[in-house]
Structure 1
Amino acid sequence: MVEPGDETVGRWLRELGPVALLRALTGQAAPPPDATPQRLAGCALRASGTDPAADLAAAARLGGRFVCPGDLEWPGQLDDLGDARPVGLWVRGRPSLRTWALRSVAVVGARACSDYGAHVAATLGAELAERGWTVVSGAAHGVDGAAHRGALAAGGATVAVLASGVDRPYPRAHAGLIERIAGQGLVVAELPPGAHPTRGRFILRNRVIAALTRGTVVVEAAYRSGSLVTARRAQRLGRFAMGVPGPVTSGLSAGVHELLRGEAVLVTDAAEVAELVGGIGDLAPERRGPLVDRDLLDPVTARVLEALSAQGGRDGRAVAREAGTSTDEAVARLHELLALGFVARRGDHWTLVHPACREGHARRGGP
């Protein structure tokens, strides 16, 4: 009878309850105090075209069900939407929506994504699934589809939230993908069977994705992308908003970069996502450049090595003066560096060894 996210009807539902509200909107009882004649006429017209029993039967034929607040399977985090909370959700698939939503992450982004965006989304989907996270997205072309496919390929959990009925796969080119998700995961819709998507319903669908998950990752999004709406709604709901950076010359990443300049956190892989949305101990590995031989030297030995000129050799006294230590200490350190293959000795002079020569020295096991 009403469109998703109607906060006025949501308030009436909260105040009156579903049975009393149905009676009030269909003329069987006094209407809500602030209901306009136009609103009542519209509800009555739409009510005349509804057949709840047929909707339930259509869902059941697909192995689906209707889940509403108060049911054991209802995800409590959707209540954070307040009066914009869904009246209920149509669900296809065997797993429990409530259980899967407890440890879930949304991966969303551009429909016309680049190869880079598709690769990142698929990799995120697979790696998050391997870590035991449910990947939630909207089954759209581009990033959404890639994230779902990544999770499916890893044998993981994934949920598609549609802007149509669960029996109306959209986009149609993803009918096979949505069937795979229904078989391995869950397909969820706020609209009843037979309903078709509209532009407004896509935007309202995004609030469900944001509320259902612990955080939203945006992989490629232009300035006007609906994915940014999802991330910002997630942030307002107290969830994490995350973005994967891209080339600064790419318009597909411009919206993500704008998001990162404000409320979002930069992430580059599933480990960093899990560190944000996970529990204590879900830490991403430390990021650092490759370890080189010089990194293993103690500070004094490193100074002695740096005191040697690349252009020519020096004697121990000159090295000590440059390194700021005694001659005996400098010579002792030079002998350590000689054993490690960093320097060579020519009489009283010490010279640097070229890295390629040092690698050969290491392979031979020293002098």
Structure 2
Amino acid sequence: MSADAREPDAELLARVFLARVIEPGDEVGGRWVREFGVAEVVRRLRQARDALPGVSAARWGGLVARAGAAEPERDLDVARAAGVRFLRPGDVEWPGQLDDLGDGRPLGLWVRGTASLRMWALRSVAVVGARACTEYGAHVAADLASGLAERGWIVVSGGAYGIDGAAHRGALAASGATVAVLACGVDRPYPRGHAALIGRIAEQGLVIGELPPGDHPTPSRFILRNRVIAALTRGTVVVEAARRSGSLVTARASQRLGRITMGIPGPVTSALSAGVHELLRGEAALVTDAADVVELVGEMGELAPVRHGPVLPRDLLEPAAREVLAALPGHRAAPAEEIARGARTTRDEAIARLYELRALGYVERHGDGWKLTRQAVISVRRGRSPC
């Protein structure tokens, strides 16, 4: 049970207050909380004196103005009415890996949905990419998320158009679990065109965010939201991204945090894959499907299957027979002696192999010579059996 399911205590109210006043990812604010404690930070902001260190007078004045309008009890009431709870560090459900963000750690998280965020985060993968994605990108993201969900992994993304939406839908289509990390209040889904999708995620998964109820997204909040996606998960997969894509921010945050960073390549002619290719030239791992991802982020023994090219019928022949078959000219009959020289064997051995090949439909007698059958010529080119 989260702390706000009971009568709110002073520390809970203080963190809800600060979530309204301090922007997500503000490391100065995080340092204040670490050095002075939430109660002292709240006291100074409320009393509007004894400015805390590390900010200008103008910025301190802006924080004090925000503090004057903060109503933590009201925020909790609005959240409860929307089926939203507030998690703080130290709660049973708090994902400990968020602590890797140091002073940039969220002051708390607003959560919509019934599952345990801590348990889900332990086996989660971020799938992110371009908003204006191609059909290829959307297909790959949905297929990847579906494959991860079928293997029991949680798909985490940002709820946006493009790759994010395709990833969420892919996981839901496989009756799997997914988490949307929003850059706004979780009671006000954004983008509006994804209101139905985000509602479905809340029913089947989790919708989380740092911003209090009713807060709106801004460009900086989208960027800062990405650090939560990176920290929460075991690894990040970028499906499509241009060179200035916000999803590259998630990938680089993942690298800084020691998580596994992966990319799915696209056409070299596509600007929407240029950012992914840049990652792959660095330390990111190239993956093509869910099996590849799980091999990297999963436990020991969760290996992707060994991949082979197609097995051709001639691959099933004995090595000596393959040598004899390769020694036959393509468009004429040849005597056994010539074939033996080409196969680097004796005449008797070549004849024995030629009879085997005739039984399999590869060759036929032409007087004193041997020739590939018409079906064999076609099948060797196409990789099929002549029989």
TM-score (norm 1): 0.94
Q: In structure 2, how many angstroms separate the alpha carbons of the residues matched to 1:175 and 1:361?
A: 57
What is the match of residue 226 of structure 1? 246
What is the match of residue 123 of structure 2? 103
Deviation string, structure 1 residues 144-163 (Cα, Å, up to 9, x no partner): 11111111111100000000
Q: 1:360 to 1:168 in 2, by over 3 A?
A: closer
What is the match of residue 341 of structure 1? 361
Residues 1:324 and 2:344 are matched in the alignment: yes
Instruction: Flag structure 2 segments of 5+ consecutive residues without an equivalent.
Output: 1-20
Deviation string, structure 1 residues 281-331 (Cα, Å, up to 9, x no partner): 222222222111111123222111111111212222221111111222222
Residues 1:201 and 2:190 are matched in the alignment: no
What is the match of residue 166 of structure 1? 186
Q: Which moved more, 1:82-91 or 1:40-49?
A: 40-49
Q: How many residues align?
A: 362
Residue pair 2:375, 2:386 contacting (<8 A) in 1 also: no
Matches within 5 A, 1:56-71: 56-71=76-91
Deviation string, structure 1 residues 74-128 (Cα, Å, up to 9, x no partner): 1111111111111110000000001111111111111111111111111112111
Q: Which moved more, 1:341-350 or 1:219-228?
A: 341-350
Instruction: Flag structure 1 segments of 5+ consecutive residues without an equivalent.
Output: 363-367
Matches within 5 A, 1:198-347: 198-347=218-367
Q: In structure 1, how many angstroms separate the alpha carbons of the residues matched to 2:153 and 2:162?
A: 21
Work out which of the residue numbers 34, 45, 48 in structure 2 matches 1:14. 34
Deviation string, structure 1 residues 241-260 (Cα, Å, up to 9, x no partner): 11121222211112112222
- Deviation, 1:347, is 3.8
3-state SS, counterpart of residue 161 of structure 1: strand
Q: In structure 2, how many angstroms separate the alpha carbons of the residues matched to 1:35 and 1:175?
A: 38
Q: In structure 2, how many angstroms separate the alpha carbons of the residues matched to 1:59 and 1:355?
A: 73
- Deviation, 1:33, is 4.7
Residue pair 1:91, 1:166 contacting (<8 A) in 2 also: yes
- Deviation, 1:343, is 1.4
Q: In structure 2, how many angstroms separate the alpha carbons of the residues matched to 1:33 and 1:137?
A: 35
Q: In structure 2, how many angstroms separate the alpha carbons of the residues matched to 1:301 and 1:154?
A: 48
Residue pair 2:145, 2:167 contacting (<8 A) in 1 also: yes
Matches within 5 A, 1:184-199: 184-199=204-219
Q: In structure 2, how many angstroms separate the alpha carbons of the residues matched to 1:268 and 1:77?
A: 27
Q: Which moved more, 1:26-35 or 1:318-327?
A: 26-35
Work out which of the residue numbers 200, 203, 206 in structure 2 matches 1:180. 200
3-state SS, counterpart of residue 164 of structure 1: coil
3-state SS, counterpart of residue 235 of structure 1: helix
What is the match of residue 86 of structure 1? 106
The alignment's C-alpha RMSD in Å is 1.8
Q: Which moved more, 1:228-237 or 1:346-355?
A: 346-355
Q: In structure 2, how many angstroms separate the alpha carbons of the residues matched to 1:22 and 1:151?
A: 41
Residues 1:3 and 2:39 are matched in the alignment: no
What is the match of residue 12 of structure 2? none
Residue pair 1:26, 1:43 contacting (<8 A) in 2 also: no
Q: In structure 2, how many angstroms separate the alpha carbons of the residues matched to 1:301 and 1:20?
A: 85
TM-score (norm 2): 0.89
3-state SS, counterpart of residue 26 of structure 1: helix
Q: In structure 2, how many angstroms separate the alpha carbons of the residues matched to 1:110 and 1:36?
A: 36
Which amino acid is 1:233 matched to? Answer: A
Q: In structure 1, how many angstroms separate the alpha carbons of the residues matched to 2:233 and 2:138?
A: 21
Which amino acid is 2:63 matched to? Answer: C
Which amino acid is 1:141 matched to? Answer: Y
Deviation string, structure 1 residues 308-365 (Cα, Å, up to 9, x no partner): 1112122222211111112222222222222222211234321112336877862xxx
Residue pair 2:236, 2:261 contacting (<8 A) in 1 also: yes
Which amino acid is 2:124 matched to? Answer: S
Residue pair 1:4, 1:201 contacting (<8 A) in 2 also: yes
Q: In structure 2, how many angstroms separate the alpha carbons of the residues matched to 1:56 and 1:143?
A: 32
Residues 1:43 and 2:88 are matched in the alignment: no
- Deviation, 1:36, is 4.5
Residue pair 1:23, 1:29 contacting (<8 A) in 2 also: no
Q: 1:256 to 1:118 in 2, by over 3 A?
A: same
Q: Percent identity?
A: 65
Residue pair 2:362, 2:386 contacting (<8 A) in 1 also: no
Q: In structure 2, how many angstroms separate the alpha carbons of the residues matched to 1:354 and 1:263?
A: 51
Q: In structure 2, how many angstroms separate the alpha carbons of the residues matched to 1:222 and 1:138?
A: 17
